[in-house]
A = this chain, B = another copy of it.
Amino acid sequence: MPPLGKQWIAGETEVGKAGRFHAANPLTREPIDSETSEADGSQVARAASAAANAFEGYRKVAPKQRAVFLRTIAANIEALGETLIERADLETALGVDRLRGERARTTGQLKLFADLIEEGSWVDARIDHADPNRKPMPKPDVRRMLIPIGPVAVFAASNFPLAFSVPGGDTASALAAGCPVVVKAHPAHPGTSELVAGAITQSVRQFDLPAGVFSLVHGTNNATSISLVQDEHIAAVAFTGSLRGGRALFDAAAARPKPIPVFAEMGSVNPVFILPGALAERKESLAQGLKQSITAGVGQFCTKPGVVVGLAGDPFTKLSESLSQLLQTVPAGALLHGSILEAYARGSDQLGAIKGVGVHRAAGQPNRATPTLFTTDGAKFLNHAALREELFGPSSVLVEASDVQQMLKIARAMDGHLTATVHGTEADIAANAELIDILQQRVGRVIINGYPTGVEVCSAMNHGGPYPATTDARSTSVGTAAIERFVRPICLQGFPTTALPPELQDANPRNIWRLVDNRRTKDSI
Protein backbone atom coordinates (compact mmCIF):
# COMPACT_ATOMS: atom_id res chain seq x y z
CA MET A 1 0.00 0.00 0.00
CA PRO A 2 1.53 3.33 -1.01
CA PRO A 3 1.44 6.20 1.47
CA LEU A 4 -1.89 7.96 1.11
CA GLY A 5 -3.15 11.45 1.86
CA LYS A 6 -2.35 13.32 -1.33
CA GLN A 7 -4.02 14.87 -4.36
CA TRP A 8 -3.31 13.64 -7.87
CA ILE A 9 -3.00 16.78 -9.96
CA ALA A 10 -2.27 16.34 -13.65
CA GLY A 11 -0.22 13.22 -13.18
CA GLU A 12 1.63 14.05 -9.96
CA THR A 13 0.87 13.53 -6.31
CA GLU A 14 0.75 16.67 -4.21
CA VAL A 15 0.29 17.44 -0.57
CA GLY A 16 -2.74 19.65 -0.14
CA LYS A 17 -2.08 23.12 1.19
CA ALA A 18 -5.41 23.86 2.85
CA GLY A 19 -5.28 21.59 5.89
CA ARG A 20 -5.67 17.99 6.92
CA PHE A 21 -8.43 15.63 7.94
CA HIS A 22 -8.91 12.07 9.08
CA ALA A 23 -11.52 9.78 7.59
CA ALA A 24 -13.24 7.69 10.26
CA ASN A 25 -13.73 3.96 10.45
CA PRO A 26 -17.53 3.58 10.20
CA LEU A 27 -17.49 0.60 12.58
CA THR A 28 -15.66 2.35 15.39
CA ARG A 29 -16.02 6.03 14.40
CA GLU A 30 -12.29 6.22 15.26
CA PRO A 31 -9.94 8.08 12.89
CA ILE A 32 -8.31 5.88 10.26
CA ASP A 33 -4.51 5.61 10.24
CA SER A 34 -3.32 8.17 7.76
CA GLU A 35 -4.16 11.84 7.47
CA THR A 36 -5.40 13.29 4.19
CA SER A 37 -4.31 16.71 3.01
CA GLU A 38 -6.84 19.08 1.44
CA ALA A 39 -6.32 21.06 -1.75
CA ASP A 40 -6.39 24.82 -1.50
CA GLY A 41 -7.82 27.19 -4.09
CA SER A 42 -4.59 27.41 -6.05
CA GLN A 43 -4.38 23.64 -6.36
CA VAL A 44 -8.00 23.35 -7.48
CA ALA A 45 -7.36 26.10 -10.04
CA ARG A 46 -4.26 24.31 -11.28
CA ALA A 47 -6.17 21.06 -11.75
CA ALA A 48 -8.89 22.88 -13.69
CA SER A 49 -6.39 24.76 -15.80
CA ALA A 50 -4.49 21.57 -16.58
CA ALA A 51 -7.80 19.98 -17.61
CA ALA A 52 -8.47 22.85 -20.01
CA ASN A 53 -5.01 22.48 -21.53
CA ALA A 54 -5.44 18.72 -21.79
CA PHE A 55 -8.80 19.18 -23.49
CA GLU A 56 -7.08 20.60 -26.58
CA GLY A 57 -5.33 17.32 -27.17
CA TYR A 58 -7.71 14.84 -25.58
CA ARG A 59 -10.76 15.88 -27.57
CA LYS A 60 -8.85 14.97 -30.75
CA VAL A 61 -7.92 11.47 -29.59
CA ALA A 62 -9.69 9.03 -31.90
CA PRO A 63 -12.66 7.22 -30.31
CA LYS A 64 -11.04 3.82 -30.75
CA GLN A 65 -8.02 4.97 -28.78
CA ARG A 66 -10.22 6.52 -26.11
CA ALA A 67 -11.98 3.17 -25.87
CA VAL A 68 -8.70 1.35 -25.24
CA PHE A 69 -7.83 4.00 -22.64
CA LEU A 70 -11.10 3.33 -20.79
CA ARG A 71 -10.51 -0.43 -20.86
CA THR A 72 -7.02 0.14 -19.54
CA ILE A 73 -8.41 2.13 -16.62
CA ALA A 74 -10.67 -0.85 -15.89
CA ALA A 75 -7.72 -3.23 -16.05
CA ASN A 76 -5.59 -1.01 -13.81
CA ILE A 77 -8.38 -0.84 -11.24
CA GLU A 78 -8.69 -4.61 -11.31
CA ALA A 79 -4.92 -4.86 -10.90
CA LEU A 80 -5.18 -3.05 -7.56
CA GLY A 81 -6.71 -6.31 -6.36
CA GLU A 82 -7.55 -6.80 -2.72
CA THR A 83 -5.59 -3.70 -1.69
CA LEU A 84 -8.42 -1.61 -3.10
CA ILE A 85 -11.18 -3.78 -1.67
CA GLU A 86 -9.61 -3.80 1.79
CA ARG A 87 -9.12 -0.06 1.83
CA ALA A 88 -12.68 0.55 0.60
CA ASP A 89 -14.03 -1.77 3.29
CA LEU A 90 -11.99 -0.04 5.96
CA GLU A 91 -13.37 3.33 4.91
CA THR A 92 -16.99 2.34 4.18
CA ALA A 93 -17.71 -0.89 6.09
CA LEU A 94 -19.83 -1.98 3.13
CA GLY A 95 -18.27 -5.46 3.18
CA VAL A 96 -15.89 -7.08 0.75
CA ASP A 97 -18.55 -8.99 -1.21
CA ARG A 98 -20.54 -5.88 -1.95
CA LEU A 99 -17.35 -3.99 -2.79
CA ARG A 100 -16.15 -6.71 -5.15
CA GLY A 101 -19.55 -6.53 -6.86
CA GLU A 102 -19.31 -2.77 -7.04
CA ARG A 103 -15.84 -3.00 -8.55
CA ALA A 104 -17.19 -5.32 -11.24
CA ARG A 105 -19.97 -2.83 -11.95
CA THR A 106 -17.47 0.01 -12.13
CA THR A 107 -15.11 -1.71 -14.53
CA GLY A 108 -18.17 -2.94 -16.45
CA GLN A 109 -19.30 0.68 -16.86
CA LEU A 110 -15.92 1.71 -18.18
CA LYS A 111 -16.04 -1.13 -20.71
CA LEU A 112 -19.64 -0.27 -21.66
CA PHE A 113 -18.65 3.28 -22.53
CA ALA A 114 -15.61 1.95 -24.38
CA ASP A 115 -17.93 -0.22 -26.50
CA LEU A 116 -20.29 2.73 -27.04
CA ILE A 117 -17.65 5.10 -28.40
CA GLU A 118 -15.95 2.37 -30.39
CA GLU A 119 -19.26 1.63 -32.16
CA GLY A 120 -19.63 5.39 -32.55
CA SER A 121 -23.27 6.01 -33.55
CA TRP A 122 -23.94 7.86 -30.27
CA VAL A 123 -22.59 11.11 -31.81
CA ASP A 124 -25.97 11.49 -33.60
CA ALA A 125 -24.41 12.42 -36.94
CA ARG A 126 -26.77 14.16 -39.34
CA ILE A 127 -26.14 15.12 -42.94
CA ASP A 128 -28.37 17.30 -45.11
CA HIS A 129 -26.94 17.54 -48.59
CA ALA A 130 -26.85 20.70 -50.66
CA ASP A 131 -29.34 21.48 -53.40
CA PRO A 132 -27.86 24.28 -55.51
CA ASN A 133 -30.99 24.42 -57.66
CA ARG A 134 -33.49 24.97 -54.88
CA LYS A 135 -35.67 28.11 -55.22
CA PRO A 136 -35.79 30.81 -54.00
CA MET A 137 -32.44 30.11 -52.28
CA PRO A 138 -29.91 27.33 -52.93
CA LYS A 139 -29.79 24.80 -50.12
CA PRO A 140 -26.39 24.57 -48.40
CA ASP A 141 -24.63 21.39 -47.30
CA VAL A 142 -25.23 21.11 -43.54
CA ARG A 143 -23.77 18.46 -41.20
CA ARG A 144 -23.96 18.08 -37.46
CA MET A 145 -22.59 15.86 -34.71
CA LEU A 146 -21.98 15.90 -30.98
CA ILE A 147 -18.61 17.05 -29.64
CA PRO A 148 -17.22 17.15 -26.08
CA ILE A 149 -18.19 20.18 -24.01
CA GLY A 150 -14.95 20.65 -22.04
CA PRO A 151 -13.50 19.81 -18.61
CA VAL A 152 -16.00 18.21 -16.22
CA ALA A 153 -15.95 18.55 -12.43
CA VAL A 154 -17.12 15.33 -10.78
CA PHE A 155 -18.23 15.29 -7.13
CA ALA A 156 -17.98 11.78 -5.80
CA ALA A 157 -20.68 10.16 -3.68
CA SER A 158 -20.20 8.55 -0.30
CA ASN A 159 -22.47 5.56 -0.82
CA PHE A 160 -20.77 3.98 -3.82
CA PRO A 161 -17.03 4.42 -3.19
CA LEU A 162 -16.29 3.10 -6.68
CA ALA A 163 -19.35 3.09 -8.97
CA PHE A 164 -20.46 6.68 -8.19
CA SER A 165 -17.08 7.92 -7.12
CA VAL A 166 -13.66 8.56 -8.63
CA PRO A 167 -13.89 5.98 -11.47
CA GLY A 168 -17.71 5.92 -11.56
CA GLY A 169 -20.31 6.58 -14.23
CA ASP A 170 -19.71 10.34 -14.27
CA THR A 171 -15.98 10.01 -14.85
CA ALA A 172 -16.42 7.13 -17.33
CA SER A 173 -19.00 8.98 -19.41
CA ALA A 174 -17.07 12.26 -19.38
CA LEU A 175 -13.80 10.60 -20.41
CA ALA A 176 -15.69 8.63 -23.06
CA ALA A 177 -17.16 11.85 -24.44
CA GLY A 178 -13.69 13.36 -24.74
CA CYS A 179 -13.80 15.56 -21.64
CA PRO A 180 -11.00 15.75 -19.05
CA VAL A 181 -12.16 15.23 -15.46
CA VAL A 182 -11.34 16.85 -12.14
CA VAL A 183 -12.77 14.73 -9.33
CA LYS A 184 -13.48 16.12 -5.91
CA ALA A 185 -13.13 12.99 -3.73
CA HIS A 186 -15.68 12.24 -1.05
CA PRO A 187 -13.96 12.79 2.30
CA ALA A 188 -15.41 9.58 3.74
CA HIS A 189 -13.18 7.38 1.56
CA PRO A 190 -10.07 9.36 0.62
CA GLY A 191 -7.72 6.37 0.52
CA THR A 192 -9.95 4.43 -1.85
CA SER A 193 -10.20 7.54 -4.03
CA GLU A 194 -6.50 7.99 -4.12
CA LEU A 195 -5.72 4.38 -5.02
CA VAL A 196 -8.12 4.53 -7.93
CA ALA A 197 -6.81 7.93 -8.98
CA GLY A 198 -3.38 6.36 -9.18
CA ALA A 199 -4.75 3.65 -11.47
CA ILE A 200 -6.35 6.26 -13.74
CA THR A 201 -3.19 8.37 -13.79
CA GLN A 202 -1.19 5.30 -14.69
CA SER A 203 -3.53 4.75 -17.66
CA VAL A 204 -3.10 8.37 -18.75
CA ARG A 205 0.66 7.84 -18.73
CA GLN A 206 0.49 4.53 -20.59
CA PHE A 207 -1.25 6.28 -23.48
CA ASP A 208 0.90 9.37 -23.29
CA LEU A 209 -2.22 11.49 -22.97
CA PRO A 210 -1.99 15.07 -21.68
CA ALA A 211 -1.53 14.74 -17.92
CA GLY A 212 -4.42 17.11 -17.11
CA VAL A 213 -6.95 14.61 -18.48
CA PHE A 214 -7.46 13.51 -14.90
CA SER A 215 -6.98 15.10 -11.49
CA LEU A 216 -8.20 14.27 -8.00
CA VAL A 217 -8.53 16.78 -5.18
CA HIS A 218 -9.50 16.26 -1.56
CA GLY A 219 -11.54 18.72 0.43
CA THR A 220 -13.91 18.90 3.37
CA ASN A 221 -15.10 22.47 3.10
CA ASN A 222 -17.69 23.89 0.75
CA ALA A 223 -15.41 26.65 -0.47
CA THR A 224 -13.20 24.08 -2.24
CA SER A 225 -16.22 22.68 -4.06
CA ILE A 226 -17.58 26.09 -5.00
CA SER A 227 -14.19 27.23 -6.30
CA LEU A 228 -14.06 24.17 -8.56
CA VAL A 229 -17.57 24.79 -9.91
CA GLN A 230 -16.86 28.46 -10.48
CA ASP A 231 -13.48 27.92 -12.11
CA GLU A 232 -13.62 29.43 -15.60
CA HIS A 233 -12.08 26.29 -17.13
CA ILE A 234 -14.83 23.96 -15.96
CA ALA A 235 -17.59 23.37 -18.53
CA ALA A 236 -19.99 21.04 -16.67
CA VAL A 237 -20.55 19.53 -13.24
CA ALA A 238 -21.69 16.06 -12.18
CA PHE A 239 -22.65 15.40 -8.59
CA THR A 240 -24.23 12.62 -6.55
CA GLY A 241 -25.26 13.43 -3.00
CA SER A 242 -27.63 15.44 -0.90
CA LEU A 243 -30.24 17.96 -2.00
CA ARG A 244 -28.50 20.68 -0.05
CA GLY A 245 -25.11 19.91 -1.54
CA GLY A 246 -26.39 19.57 -5.08
CA ARG A 247 -28.42 22.75 -4.90
CA ALA A 248 -25.44 24.71 -3.58
CA LEU A 249 -23.37 23.63 -6.58
CA PHE A 250 -26.25 24.36 -8.94
CA ASP A 251 -26.64 27.86 -7.51
CA ALA A 252 -22.89 28.49 -7.75
CA ALA A 253 -22.84 27.37 -11.39
CA ALA A 254 -25.87 29.49 -12.30
CA ALA A 255 -24.26 32.55 -10.70
CA ARG A 256 -21.09 32.31 -12.81
CA PRO A 257 -20.45 35.02 -15.41
CA LYS A 258 -20.78 32.11 -17.86
CA PRO A 259 -23.24 29.61 -16.38
CA ILE A 260 -22.55 25.91 -16.89
CA PRO A 261 -24.83 22.87 -16.61
CA VAL A 262 -24.97 20.96 -13.31
CA PHE A 263 -26.13 17.36 -13.34
CA ALA A 264 -26.80 16.74 -9.67
CA GLU A 265 -28.46 13.51 -8.60
CA MET A 266 -29.83 14.31 -5.17
CA GLY A 267 -32.44 12.78 -2.93
CA SER A 268 -35.28 10.39 -3.69
CA VAL A 269 -37.96 8.61 -1.71
CA ASN A 270 -38.82 6.01 -4.38
CA PRO A 271 -42.43 5.27 -3.40
CA VAL A 272 -43.76 1.74 -3.81
CA PHE A 273 -47.47 1.09 -4.39
CA ILE A 274 -48.86 -2.34 -3.58
CA LEU A 275 -52.08 -3.14 -5.42
CA PRO A 276 -54.68 -5.52 -3.98
CA GLY A 277 -54.21 -8.46 -6.35
CA ALA A 278 -50.49 -8.62 -5.71
CA LEU A 279 -51.07 -8.34 -1.99
CA ALA A 280 -53.50 -11.24 -2.07
CA GLU A 281 -51.16 -13.40 -4.16
CA ARG A 282 -47.74 -12.82 -2.64
CA LYS A 283 -47.70 -11.01 0.70
CA GLU A 284 -44.74 -12.97 1.99
CA SER A 285 -42.50 -12.55 -1.03
CA LEU A 286 -43.38 -8.84 -1.06
CA ALA A 287 -42.33 -8.53 2.56
CA GLN A 288 -39.10 -10.37 1.81
CA GLY A 289 -38.39 -8.28 -1.27
CA LEU A 290 -39.11 -5.01 0.51
CA LYS A 291 -36.95 -5.98 3.46
CA GLN A 292 -34.10 -6.75 1.08
CA SER A 293 -34.49 -3.52 -0.88
CA ILE A 294 -34.86 -1.32 2.23
CA THR A 295 -31.81 -2.69 4.00
CA ALA A 296 -29.42 -3.36 1.09
CA GLY A 297 -26.24 -1.35 1.65
CA VAL A 298 -27.65 -0.47 5.10
CA GLY A 299 -30.36 1.54 3.35
CA GLN A 300 -27.83 3.85 1.72
CA PHE A 301 -28.99 3.55 -1.88
CA CYS A 302 -30.43 6.54 -3.75
CA THR A 303 -33.18 4.20 -4.89
CA LYS A 304 -34.09 2.76 -1.49
CA PRO A 305 -37.89 2.44 -1.20
CA GLY A 306 -38.59 5.05 1.47
CA VAL A 307 -42.39 4.89 1.26
CA VAL A 308 -44.65 1.86 0.74
CA VAL A 309 -48.34 2.48 0.10
CA GLY A 310 -51.19 -0.04 0.14
CA LEU A 311 -54.93 -0.15 0.67
CA ALA A 312 -56.30 -0.56 4.19
CA GLY A 313 -57.49 -4.04 5.05
CA ASP A 314 -56.43 -7.29 6.53
CA PRO A 315 -53.91 -8.23 3.81
CA PHE A 316 -52.08 -4.93 4.19
CA THR A 317 -52.05 -5.25 7.97
CA LYS A 318 -50.47 -8.69 7.53
CA LEU A 319 -47.87 -7.29 5.14
CA SER A 320 -47.11 -4.60 7.68
CA GLU A 321 -46.63 -7.19 10.42
CA SER A 322 -44.43 -9.43 8.25
CA LEU A 323 -42.26 -6.59 7.04
CA SER A 324 -41.93 -5.21 10.55
CA GLN A 325 -40.81 -8.60 11.85
CA LEU A 326 -38.44 -9.23 8.97
CA LEU A 327 -36.76 -5.85 9.40
CA GLN A 328 -36.18 -6.67 13.06
CA THR A 329 -34.22 -9.76 12.01
CA VAL A 330 -31.74 -7.59 10.06
CA PRO A 331 -28.78 -6.62 12.23
CA ALA A 332 -28.16 -2.94 12.83
CA GLY A 333 -25.44 -1.71 10.49
CA ALA A 334 -22.66 0.84 10.35
CA LEU A 335 -23.45 3.85 8.19
CA LEU A 336 -20.89 5.43 5.91
CA HIS A 337 -19.99 8.33 8.11
CA GLY A 338 -20.95 10.14 11.27
CA SER A 339 -23.17 12.77 9.73
CA ILE A 340 -25.30 10.14 7.98
CA LEU A 341 -25.65 8.28 11.28
CA GLU A 342 -26.65 11.44 13.09
CA ALA A 343 -29.11 12.43 10.38
CA TYR A 344 -30.65 8.95 10.53
CA ALA A 345 -31.09 9.18 14.29
CA ARG A 346 -32.48 12.70 14.10
CA GLY A 347 -34.82 11.88 11.20
CA SER A 348 -36.06 8.72 12.90
CA ASP A 349 -36.82 10.66 16.07
CA GLN A 350 -38.65 13.30 14.05
CA LEU A 351 -40.87 10.75 12.30
CA GLY A 352 -41.49 8.82 15.49
CA ALA A 353 -42.62 12.01 17.21
CA ILE A 354 -45.47 12.56 14.73
CA LYS A 355 -48.70 11.66 16.46
CA GLY A 356 -50.16 8.47 15.02
CA VAL A 357 -46.93 7.23 13.45
CA GLY A 358 -45.95 3.76 14.65
CA VAL A 359 -42.28 2.89 15.06
CA HIS A 360 -41.20 -0.75 14.69
CA ARG A 361 -37.63 -1.72 15.36
CA ALA A 362 -35.40 -3.90 17.46
CA ALA A 363 -33.28 -2.46 20.27
CA GLY A 364 -30.54 -0.15 19.06
CA GLN A 365 -26.76 -0.41 19.30
CA PRO A 366 -24.20 2.34 19.61
CA ASN A 367 -22.80 3.62 16.29
CA ARG A 368 -25.21 1.45 14.32
CA ALA A 369 -28.38 2.18 12.36
CA THR A 370 -31.31 -0.01 13.37
CA PRO A 371 -33.66 -1.08 10.55
CA THR A 372 -36.95 0.69 11.24
CA LEU A 373 -40.47 0.54 9.86
CA PHE A 374 -42.66 3.58 10.41
CA THR A 375 -46.38 3.00 9.95
CA THR A 376 -49.05 5.60 9.35
CA ASP A 377 -52.28 6.20 7.47
CA GLY A 378 -52.90 8.15 4.28
CA ALA A 379 -54.34 11.24 5.95
CA LYS A 380 -51.33 11.68 8.23
CA PHE A 381 -48.96 10.96 5.38
CA LEU A 382 -50.57 13.71 3.33
CA ASN A 383 -50.47 16.14 6.26
CA HIS A 384 -46.83 15.72 7.26
CA ALA A 385 -44.24 16.63 4.65
CA ALA A 386 -41.49 15.02 6.75
CA LEU A 387 -42.99 11.60 5.98
CA ARG A 388 -42.45 12.24 2.28
CA GLU A 389 -38.79 13.22 2.60
CA GLU A 390 -35.75 11.04 2.10
CA LEU A 391 -34.26 9.45 5.21
CA PHE A 392 -30.92 7.89 4.30
CA GLY A 393 -30.55 4.57 6.10
CA PRO A 394 -32.43 1.27 6.63
CA SER A 395 -35.97 2.58 7.15
CA SER A 396 -39.21 2.97 5.28
CA VAL A 397 -42.64 4.50 5.89
CA LEU A 398 -45.56 2.13 5.38
CA VAL A 399 -48.73 4.02 4.48
CA GLU A 400 -52.22 2.61 4.76
CA ALA A 401 -54.43 4.38 2.21
CA SER A 402 -58.14 4.39 2.99
CA ASP A 403 -59.15 3.74 -0.62
CA VAL A 404 -58.01 4.01 -4.22
CA GLN A 405 -58.83 7.71 -4.34
CA GLN A 406 -56.55 8.39 -1.40
CA MET A 407 -53.84 6.28 -3.01
CA LEU A 408 -54.07 8.45 -6.12
CA LYS A 409 -53.96 11.54 -3.94
CA ILE A 410 -50.78 10.23 -2.32
CA ALA A 411 -49.26 9.59 -5.74
CA ARG A 412 -50.12 13.15 -6.79
CA ALA A 413 -48.60 14.55 -3.59
CA MET A 414 -45.27 13.00 -4.49
CA ASP A 415 -42.44 15.32 -5.42
CA GLY A 416 -39.89 14.50 -8.14
CA HIS A 417 -38.14 11.16 -7.52
CA LEU A 418 -35.75 8.84 -9.24
CA THR A 419 -38.18 5.93 -9.24
CA ALA A 420 -41.65 4.73 -8.37
CA THR A 421 -42.67 1.10 -8.13
CA VAL A 422 -46.01 -0.65 -8.54
CA HIS A 423 -46.72 -4.21 -7.51
CA GLY A 424 -49.81 -5.69 -9.10
CA THR A 425 -51.33 -8.57 -11.02
CA GLU A 426 -52.10 -8.07 -14.68
CA ALA A 427 -55.65 -7.13 -13.68
CA ASP A 428 -54.34 -4.68 -11.05
CA ILE A 429 -52.14 -2.97 -13.62
CA ALA A 430 -54.97 -2.69 -16.13
CA ALA A 431 -57.32 -1.28 -13.49
CA ASN A 432 -54.79 1.27 -12.20
CA ALA A 433 -53.61 2.94 -15.38
CA GLU A 434 -54.21 6.34 -13.80
CA LEU A 435 -51.85 5.59 -10.91
CA ILE A 436 -49.10 4.52 -13.31
CA ASP A 437 -49.70 7.60 -15.44
CA ILE A 438 -49.41 9.91 -12.43
CA LEU A 439 -46.19 8.25 -11.35
CA GLN A 440 -44.63 8.59 -14.81
CA GLN A 441 -45.11 12.35 -14.48
CA ARG A 442 -43.20 12.45 -11.22
CA VAL A 443 -40.23 10.16 -11.64
CA GLY A 444 -37.51 9.08 -14.04
CA ARG A 445 -38.21 5.33 -13.86
CA VAL A 446 -41.32 3.33 -13.09
CA ILE A 447 -40.87 -0.30 -12.09
CA ILE A 448 -43.62 -2.91 -12.19
CA ASN A 449 -43.26 -5.95 -9.96
CA GLY A 450 -39.63 -5.33 -9.12
CA TYR A 451 -37.57 -3.28 -6.70
CA PRO A 452 -35.94 0.08 -7.34
CA THR A 453 -32.53 -0.85 -5.90
CA GLY A 454 -30.07 -2.61 -8.17
CA VAL A 455 -30.01 -0.12 -11.06
CA GLU A 456 -29.23 -1.93 -14.31
CA VAL A 457 -26.40 -0.31 -16.30
CA CYS A 458 -27.68 -0.41 -19.90
CA SER A 459 -28.77 1.71 -22.85
CA ALA A 460 -32.39 1.99 -21.78
CA MET A 461 -31.71 2.91 -18.14
CA ASN A 462 -32.71 6.30 -16.80
CA HIS A 463 -31.31 7.22 -13.40
CA GLY A 464 -32.67 10.72 -13.05
CA GLY A 465 -35.97 12.47 -12.56
CA PRO A 466 -37.74 15.76 -11.95
CA TYR A 467 -36.38 18.13 -9.31
CA PRO A 468 -35.53 17.57 -6.47
CA ALA A 469 -34.42 14.11 -7.61
CA THR A 470 -32.00 15.88 -9.94
CA THR A 471 -31.26 19.41 -11.14
CA ASP A 472 -31.84 18.34 -14.76
CA ALA A 473 -34.64 15.89 -15.52
CA ARG A 474 -33.41 15.65 -19.08
CA SER A 475 -30.33 13.68 -18.00
CA THR A 476 -29.35 10.31 -16.57
CA SER A 477 -26.28 9.47 -14.52
CA VAL A 478 -26.47 5.71 -15.20
CA GLY A 479 -26.46 3.94 -18.56
CA THR A 480 -25.03 4.88 -21.92
CA ALA A 481 -27.21 8.00 -22.24
CA ALA A 482 -25.15 9.52 -19.41
CA ILE A 483 -22.61 10.54 -22.06
CA GLU A 484 -25.14 13.00 -23.53
CA ARG A 485 -24.59 15.29 -20.54
CA PHE A 486 -21.09 16.21 -21.62
CA VAL A 487 -21.49 17.02 -25.29
CA ARG A 488 -22.97 19.71 -27.48
CA PRO A 489 -23.81 19.81 -31.17
CA ILE A 490 -21.52 21.41 -33.73
CA CYS A 491 -22.82 22.17 -37.20
CA LEU A 492 -20.44 22.30 -40.16
CA GLN A 493 -21.78 24.01 -43.25
CA GLY A 494 -20.20 23.88 -46.68
CA PHE A 495 -17.15 21.93 -45.49
CA PRO A 496 -14.95 20.14 -48.02
CA THR A 497 -14.57 16.43 -47.23
CA THR A 498 -10.97 16.88 -46.19
CA ALA A 499 -12.01 19.30 -43.43
CA LEU A 500 -14.81 17.07 -42.10
CA PRO A 501 -14.38 14.66 -39.18
CA PRO A 502 -14.71 10.99 -40.21
CA GLU A 503 -18.18 10.80 -38.68
CA LEU A 504 -19.50 13.36 -41.17
CA GLN A 505 -17.70 12.30 -44.33
CA ASP A 506 -19.89 10.93 -47.12
CA ALA A 507 -17.90 7.67 -47.20
CA ASN A 508 -18.79 6.98 -43.55
CA PRO A 509 -15.39 5.53 -42.65
CA ARG A 510 -16.52 5.02 -39.04
CA ASN A 511 -19.42 2.86 -40.29
CA ILE A 512 -21.90 4.50 -37.91
CA TRP A 513 -25.64 5.01 -38.05
CA ARG A 514 -26.47 8.48 -39.35
CA LEU A 515 -29.45 10.53 -40.42
CA VAL A 516 -28.75 11.34 -44.06
CA ASP A 517 -31.29 13.59 -45.78
CA ASN A 518 -33.77 12.51 -43.09
CA ARG A 519 -33.17 8.80 -43.72
CA ARG A 520 -31.48 6.65 -41.05
CA THR A 521 -28.70 4.63 -42.61
CA LYS A 522 -25.24 3.15 -42.20
CA ASP A 523 -24.51 3.41 -45.90
CA SER A 524 -21.71 5.43 -47.36
CA ILE A 525 -23.02 8.01 -49.79
Contacts and interface: CB of A to CB of B under 8 A. Distances in A.
A445 B261 contact: no
A448 B499 contact: yes
A267 interface: no
A440 B150 CA distance: 12
Contacts of A515: 459-460
A489 B476 contact: yes
A95 interface: no
Interface residue tally of chain A, by bracket?
35 or more
Contact of A139 (B261, B456, B488, B513): B456
Contacts of A448: 492-496, 499
Nearest to A437: B60
Most chain B beta-carbon neighbours within 10 Å: one of A143, A144, A416: A144
Most chain B beta-carbon neighbours within 10 Å: one of A426, A440, A456, A464: A456
A493 B447 contact: yes
A432 to B, nearest CB: 10
Contacts of A489: 444, 462, 464, 474, 476, 481
Contacts of A466: 258, 488
Contacts of A3: none
A468 interface: yes
A450 B261 contact: no
Interface in A46-95: none
Interface in A423-437: 426, 429-430, 433, 436
B144 A460 contact: yes
What number of copies of this chain does the assembly contain?
Answer: 2
Contact of A458 (B142, B149, B488): B142
A301 interface: no
Contact of A250 (B259, B416, B490): B259
A449 interface: yes
Most chain B beta-carbon neighbours within 10 Å: one of A429, A464, A490: A490
Interface in A457-512: 458-462, 464, 466-468, 471-474, 476, 481, 487-496, 498-499
A445 B250 contact: no
A516 B139 CA distance: 35
A491 B462 contact: yes
Interface string A98-126: 00010000000000000000000100001
A464 B458 CA distance: 30
A490 B254 contact: no
A57 to B, nearest CB: 12
A128 B460 contact: yes
Contacts of A499: 429-430, 433, 436, 448
A491 B261 contact: no
Given A140-B456, A144-B462, A449 B491 contact: no
A481 B101 CA distance: 39
A248 to B, nearest CB: 13
A313 B487 CA distance: 40
Contact of A446 (B121, B433, B488, B492): B492
A520 interface: yes
A460 B491 contact: yes
A440 B128 contact: no
A261 B474 contact: yes
A137 interface: yes
B433 A101 contact: no
Contacts of A490: 440, 444-446, 462
A206 interface: no
A461 B491 contact: yes
A493 B449 CA distance: 9
A339 interface: no
Interface in A232-275: 250-251, 254-255, 258-259, 261
Interface string A383-424: 000000000000000000000000000000000100000000
Given A250-B259, A447-B493, A498-B429, A488 B460 contact: no
B474 A487 contact: yes
28 contacts: A126-B459, A128-B458, A128-B461, A137-B454, A139-B456, A140-B450, A144-B459, A144-B460, A144-B461, A144-B462, A144-B481, A250-B254, A251-B254, A258-B416, A433-B499, A440-B492, A445-B492, A446-B492, A446-B495, A448-B492, A448-B496, A449-B494, A459-B515, A462-B489, A462-B490, A473-B488, A481-B489, A513-B520
The 5 A-B pairs with the shortest beta carbon distances in the complex, nearest first, are A462-B491, A254-B254, A126-B460, A445-B491, A144-B460
